[in-house]
């Protein structure tokens, strides 16, 4: 009874009551920061790219470096193909104009030989001129009997156009592969990071924001990296496919004119009025199919 009376005895005037547990927790926090703010700061201190790198395992490192290699390769091919597309477009009209405006075929061939090695239209013209000269040197041989001049030039033009078209496609396979697989690699890194985050949360026995936000937020960074690698690759791939389609159409047009010029000795003007062509005599060069 005396103990109960002592416990219920009112405090003396001017005395300070002892702090409770809740009050002690509040006063333990830094000045100007609530307990919720303290938890958020602890969560943010454990979330970031640097913290993600230091907590990678073998699979996490593998996924991250594969994405880095994909990104470096993609930007390399983007720069190379962009420079090549711009350079070809800037020179294509001038090269074709110079070829048709020269006074003789020999002068035109000499002009094409002076063009840069990467310039495709001059290489197609040289392939055609070389085939025409080769066929002319072997007149009367079995080769000439098997293939007339038109067919021989046509084969050379097809090979030249196919070779230059293949050169235009350099790097497109890498861009297409990166654009289609990088998001899934980033997602794999995210899933693997969340899996390890859940294991750490379960081991700690604490599901507070300071325990969940950091690991899960870091895992989502891998998805962002995957998208950042894939989006430029997809955009560049679509742009270069469109540019190559236009260039290939110009290859075909130029090849048709070259065939007519080296097979018949005159370029067919597409704007001229149509005429009825007489059928070739037996043994003469046939028309191109």
Q: Which two tokens stand for residue 189?
A: 């890194």
3 state DSSP class of 158: helix
Cβ–Cβ under 8 Å, residues 99 and 125? yes
Cβ–Cβ under 8 Å, residues 219 and 61? no
Domain borders along the chain are 70-181+229-263
What does the pLDDT look like over 246-258, one tens digit per residue?
Answer: 999 999 988 888 8
Cβ–Cβ under 8 Å, residues 124 and 255? yes
Q: The tokens 């969340």 sit on which residue?
A: 194
Rg (C-alpha) for the chain, rounded Å, is: 38
The predicted pLDDT at position 180 comes to 94
Q: Using alpha carbons, list the distances in angstroms from residue 100 to 94, 107, 150.
A: 10, 10, 20
The dihedral region occupied by 259, where left means phi > 0, alpha psi between -120 and 50, and beta the remainder, is alpha
3 state DSSP class of 152: helix
Query: Torsions phi, psi of 57, nearest 5?
Result: -105, -165
- pTM: predicted TM-score of the whole model, two decimal places: 0.69
Cβ–Cβ under 8 Å, residues 286 and 280? yes
The predicted pLDDT at position 50 comes to 64
* pLDDT under 70: residue ranges of the chain: 1-56, 138-147, 207-215, 265-289
Query: Torsions phi, psi of 194, nearest 5?
Result: -65, -40
Q: Which two tokens stand for residue 260?
A: 């007519």
Gap between the Cα atoms of 255 and 248, Å rounded: 10
Which candidate, 81, 80, 112, places its Cα nearest to that of 96? 112
Cβ–Cβ under 8 Å, residues 90 and 103? no
Gap between the Cα atoms of 275 and 192, Å rounded: 71
Query: Torsions phi, psi of 122, nearest 5?
Result: -65, -35
The predicted pLDDT at position 281 comes to 38
The predicted pLDDT at position 2 comes to 47
């Amino acid at each position: 009874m005396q103990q109960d009376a002592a416990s219920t005895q009112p405090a003396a005037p001017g005395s300070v009551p002892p702090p409770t547990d809740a009050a002690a927790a509040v006063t333990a926090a830094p000045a100007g920061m609530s307990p919720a703010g303290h938890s958020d700061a602890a969560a943010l201190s454990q979330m970031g790219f640097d913290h993600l790198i230091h907590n990678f395992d073998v699979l996490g490192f593998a996924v991250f470096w594969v994405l880095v290699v994909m990104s470096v390769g993609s930007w390399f091919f983007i720069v190379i193909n962009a420079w090549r597309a711009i350079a070809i477009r800037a020179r294509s009209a001038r090269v074709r104009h110079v070829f048709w405006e020269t006074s003789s075929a020999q002068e035109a061939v000499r002009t094409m030989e002076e063009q840069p090695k990467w310039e495709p239209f001059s290489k197609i013209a040289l392939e055609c001129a070389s085939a025409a000269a080769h066929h002319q040197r072997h007149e009367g041989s079995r080769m000439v009997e098997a293939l007339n001049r038109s067919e021989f030039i046509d084969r050379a033009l097809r090979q030249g156009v196919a070779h230059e078209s293949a050169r235009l496609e350099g790097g497109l396979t890498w861009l297409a592969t990166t654009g289609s697989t990088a998001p899934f690699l980033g997602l794999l890194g995210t899933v693997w990071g969340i899996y390890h985050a859940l294991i750490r949360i379960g081991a700690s026995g604490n599901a507070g924001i300071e325990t969940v936000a950091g690991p899960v937020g870091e895992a989502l960074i891998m998805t962002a990296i995957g998208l950042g690698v894939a989006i430029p690759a997809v955009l560049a791939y679509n742009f270069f496919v469109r540019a190559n389609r236009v260039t290939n159409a110009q290859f075909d047009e130029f090849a048709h004119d070259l065939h007519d010029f080296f097979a018949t000795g005159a370029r067919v003007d597409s704007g001229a009025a149509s005429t009825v062509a007489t059928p070739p005599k037996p043994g003469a060069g046939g028309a191109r199919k």
